[in-house]
Structure 1
Amino acid sequence: MTVTYQLDGAGVARVRMDDGKANVLGDASCTRLREAMARAAEDRAAALVLEGRDGMFSGGIDREVLRDDDAVRRAATLAHIAHTLLAVWTAPIPTVAAVTGHAIAGGAILAMACDRRIGVGGSFKLGVNESMLGMVLPTWAMAIIEGTVPTAHRTEVMLMGCLFDPAGAARVGILDEVVAADGFDDAVREAATGLAEVPTRAYAGNKRMLRGARAEVAAALVAAEMGPGFAKDARTR
């Protein structure tokens, strides 16, 4: 996957994912995402926007990772993915997901790891369909989803494995808002610059208080939960 980085004049880092296909998450793509986040920290970016390309935010974990016969390598890659999404969720600066296409499974969780999620209207699907794939969500994924989706919608999102159009995703809390294509860029820019106005130390400290303890527990369980038994049923499909 190509991950591009650009810092605009307002101090907002724009990180764009594009592999020309489904923007799947694997070892290389997560390394590049972590590098982009590190660069944003070095540049003292005031906020970070994470985006895919038109039609595709991310299709989630690469199926080739799940099907890897090397159990040690598979577990290491899955752990890398988990820790990367937790890093997005606990990033000390404001994060905005600019969702211009499908966000499925781990791709939807990546979007939900961002502090604000703005989607564009269109015939796209968003959701966490792991239940329909025979997968049990690990603690780190549950933490991110529970931090985003209101209690009233968690059965629909987390247990039933429903996929939603953008309006439906906004209804259940996966997205914060859906904007028409002609106003999308302005909406993302306004969200990022608005969040960037919050004093950095206060934002980072309050996010740490809000998510830090849960993230530490989830991170400690990654090795056990993402080991050889993870997604066993899904790997046979």
Structure 2
Amino acid sequence: MAFDFNIENDIAVITFDDGKVNAVGFDLIEKFNTALDEAEKSANAVVFHGGEGKFCGGFDLSVMKGDDKAEQLRLVQAGADLIVRLYGFPLPVIVAAEGHSIALGAIMLMAADLRIGKDGGTKYGLNETAIGMVLPAFGMELAKARLALTSQTEALLFSRIFEGKDAVKAGFLDAAVPQDQVLRTALGYAEKLKMLPRAAFAESKIQLRKDTIANMKG
């Protein structure tokens, strides 16, 4: 997993790329949290970028399809803790998702404040029902808060996967642009959002989201 963390002009850019689908395991979660610790101290906005042509395909299947149930539960809990942290993070969080964002990848989109994705040929959505799973409570509560009411049945019960403008309409993205503009657009928004008064932003975010966060924690 190639992982890069850089702060420039008060914007923390977190880039992660395993050359495949950017599966999330214990090591990546630890790196995310370490980067967020530093961003909280030294930046005014955060951009997550999954590398060229990708974002995140979900949890590490080597763990999730293994025989160690305790390890699976531990990974899901670590993922849940990360998502709760992102949703309540005191700085603006922007995602640049050039590629597929499925399952936990889609949950990461919903946890961010602003999501820039690709305008076509890229899948965004929650496939849990289709593969015989129930979305964990932290994901379900987040989806109820972030997805459009008119899209929740399709997204959560029918496992519809969205692309481009349909992903924007459903609430997985805020904007869909050509792939070569995804990161640039995300950074442009970060330049604007970093100017918001930090304390006011953080308190307003918690006031807006505290009930959902409480439900996500179960």
Asked if Structure 1 and Structure 2 have the same fold, meaning a TM-score greater than 0.5 normalized by the shorter chain, the answer is yes
SS in 2 for 1:13: strand
Alpha-carbon RMSD across the aligned residues, in angstroms, is: 1.4
Say whether 1:206 aligns with 2:197: no
2:99 to 98, 101, 124: 101
| Whole-angstrom distance in 2 between the partners of 1:27 and 1:200 | 30
Partner of 2:25: 26
2:133 to 128, 132, 135: 135
Partner of 2:178: 180
| Whole-angstrom distance in 1 between the partners of 2:157 and 2:107 | 14
| Whole-angstrom distance in 2 between the partners of 1:182 and 1:81 | 29
Preserved CA contact (<8 Å) 2:148 2:169:
no
Partner of 2:157: 159
Which amino acid in the other structure matches residue 79 of structure 2?
Answer: I
Partner of 2:8: 8
SS in 2 for 1:14: strand
| Whole-angstrom distance in 1 between the partners of 2:190 and 2:197 | 13
Percent identical: 31
1:113 to 101, 111, 114: 111
| Whole-angstrom distance in 2 between the partners of 1:183 and 1:71 | 41
Q: How has the CA–CA distance of structure 1 residues 71 and 97 changed in structure 2, closer, same or farther, with 3 Å as cutoff? A: same
Preserved CA contact (<8 Å) 1:3 1:33:
no
Q: How has the CA–CA distance of structure 1 residues 35 and 77 changed in structure 2, closer, same or farther, with 3 Å as cutoff? A: same
| Whole-angstrom distance in 2 between the partners of 1:32 and 1:2 | 11
Preserved CA contact (<8 Å) 2:141 2:215:
no
| Whole-angstrom distance in 1 between the partners of 2:180 and 2:100 | 19
| Whole-angstrom distance in 1 between the partners of 2:126 and 2:108 | 11
| Whole-angstrom distance in 2 between the partners of 1:19 and 1:181 | 19
Q: How has the CA–CA distance of structure 1 residues 185 and 72 changed in structure 2, closer, same or farther, with 3 Å as cutoff? A: closer
SS in 1 for 2:146: coil
User: Please, what TM-score do these two structures have when normalized by structure 2?
Assistant: 0.94
Q: How has the CA–CA distance of structure 1 residues 185 and 29 changed in structure 2, closer, same or farther, with 3 Å as cutoff? A: closer
Q: Which moved more, 1:87-96 or 1:185-194?
A: 185-194
| Whole-angstrom distance in 1 between the partners of 2:102 and 2:76 | 17
Which amino acid in the other structure matches residue 84 of structure 2?
Answer: L
| Whole-angstrom distance in 2 between the partners of 1:56 and 1:168 | 18
Partner of 2:71: 73
User: Please, what TM-score do these two structures have when normalized by structure 1?
Assistant: 0.87
SS in 2 for 1:56: coil
Which amino acid in the other structure matches residue 30 of structure 2?
Answer: T
Instruction: Output one character per residue of 1:31-67: Cα deviation in whole Å (capped at 9) or x when no partner.
Output: 1111111110121x11000110122100011222212
| Whole-angstrom distance in 2 between the partners of 1:136 and 1:209 | 29
Query: CA shift at 1:146, angstroms?
Result: 2.0
Preserved CA contact (<8 Å) 1:2 1:29:
no
Preserved CA contact (<8 Å) 1:103 1:125:
yes
| Whole-angstrom distance in 2 between the partners of 1:55 and 1:159 | 28
Instruction: Output one character per residue of 1:49-89: Cα deviation in whole Å (capped at 9) or x when no partner.
Output: 01101221000112222122122222111111111111111
* 4+ aligned runs moved over 4 Å, structure 1: none
Instruction: Output one character per residue of 1:157-186: Cα deviation in whole Å (capped at 9) or x when no partner.
Output: 111101112222112111111112444343
| Whole-angstrom distance in 1 between the partners of 2:16 and 2:150 | 32
| Whole-angstrom distance in 1 between the partners of 2:216 and 2:184 | 35
| Whole-angstrom distance in 1 between the partners of 2:91 and 2:132 | 35
